[in-house]
Structure 1
Amino acid sequence: MTRSKDSSKKRMLVHMCCGPCSIYPLKRILEESYQVVGFFYNPNIHPEEEFRKRLEAVKRLSELMALEVILFEDYRPQPFFDGVGRGEDKEARCSHCYTIRLEKTAETAKELGFDCFSSSLLYSRYQSHEFICELGSRLAEKYSIPFYYEDFRAGWRAGIEESKKMSLYRQKYCGCIFSKIERGL
């Protein structure tokens, strides 16, 4: 079941990096009276088993929130690996990762006639918030579609607690194999 469509509300496509990090941003955006559609596009997640766990968590969250979600369910990490080489430069690697995901979100939002786009990446204390904001602004200009910015980090603790109550899969690393190795997992 999805939320009823209200043609008077602005439509927003929200990139969902994972279930737990999406809870607080989605709730906040819905409070602002947007018609929200989630967007799961994450070719950075590795290995495939991890990708599947995060995909299932997003599906579960969408059911619990009665939220429509566009899912890229095929495991295709090549777009991520094509831009990171050996992954030795963390800043360049993360910049590429943010770019491929947010660019796909902006492009899809424009193609499907959304009014704006955003991302759950703005929730995490571990992401490069400033880079994501700048990237969102650049993509908004490139695709002529507004980027919705809000600092969702204020809801960090609330989102964690809510994800536990929902029994959502909670990952232990950002997503790419390099971050998994850096965490010693």
Structure 2
Amino acid sequence: MKQPAIQKPEGLKDVLLHACCAPCSSAIVEWMMANGVRPVIYYFNPNIWPREEYEIRKQESKRHAESLGLTWVDGDYDHEEWLHGVCGLENEPERGRRCERCFTLRLIAAAKKAQELGIPYFTTTLASSRWKNLDQINRAGEIAQESVKAESNLSPLFWAQNWRKGGLYERRNQLLKEYKFYNQQYCGCEFSTRDKSTEIKEK
């Protein structure tokens, strides 16, 4: 029997969804709600630069969650701390080691927030973008899961899922127009802006 494109962990009803932006969240949230999963949206993206860009993306994420009656949680914005976290990797290309470090930092924060809120699973909209390396995201999620597990027995599990499948990438583009979302033109950090015009081979 062919496996479904989206595989929900057995018994899952609540999940913390780390959201990078509203467009990437939209189709994922729609699928979750249609399949008995109620996400808590966690917006934690200290990589985004400049601050004005961060605020625009944040408000769009909040608008989307509130339109659906979902809980939306604002993570801290400390770009200087994020820069410290990726120090030495500034010259890495997109999809390089800097990106994986960035994913790891953000997903550790997501795992900790899920633990704090008593939510058994966490996942991320980062895995919906064709410009991201899915293997890097999954490694980051596993590291985040183990990092929190080392601190407590009450450890949320990482829901590794390719959110491009099942027609969700196409649905994302439809919802982007329906909601009239702001659609950013680069990943987020100042280093990603220099590569935004470079053609990246889809993984």
TM-score (norm 1): 0.88
**Is the counterpart of residue 173 in structure 1 residue 192 in structure 2?**
no
Deviation at 1:26, TM superposition (A): 1.3
CA distance in 2, matches of 1:101, 1:75: 11
- Cα 1:142–1:83 change in 2 (3 A) is closer
> Which residue of 1 is the match for residue 140 of structure 2?
135
Deviation at 1:137, TM superposition (A): 2.3
- The answer (yes or no) to whether the contact 2:138–2:160 under 8 Å persists in 1 is yes
Q: How does 1:4-15 map to 2 (within 5 A)?
A: 10-15=13-18
CA distance in 1, matches of 2:29, 2:162: 13
2:161 to 142, 150, 164: 150
Q: How does 1:1-185 map to 2 (within 5 A)?
A: 10-72=13-75, 75-85=77-87, 87-90=90-93, 91-143=96-148, 144-154=155-165, 155-183=168-196
Mind listing any 5+ residue stretches in structure 2 that lack a counterpart? 1-10, 149-154, 198-203
Deviation at 1:130, TM superposition (A): 1.0
Deviation at 1:67, TM superposition (A): 1.3
Letter in 2 for 1:71: D
Deviation at 1:149, TM superposition (A): 2.3
What is the total number of aligned residue pairs between the two structures?
176
Out of 147-156 and 50-59, give the one that drifted further.
147-156
Of Structure 1 and Structure 2, the greater helix share is in: 1
Q: Match of 1:152, SS?
A: coil
Q: Match of 2:194, SS?
A: helix
- The answer (yes or no) to whether the contact 2:108–2:143 under 8 Å persists in 1 is no
CA distance in 1, matches of 2:64, 2:144: 27
Deviation at 1:148, TM superposition (A): 1.4
Mind listing any 5+ residue stretches in structure 1 that lack a counterpart? 1-7
Letter in 1 for 2:190: I
What is the percent sequence identity of the aligned residues? 31
CA distance in 2, matches of 1:85, 1:145: 28
CA distance in 1, matches of 2:62, 2:156: 26
Deviation at 1:59, TM superposition (A): 1.2
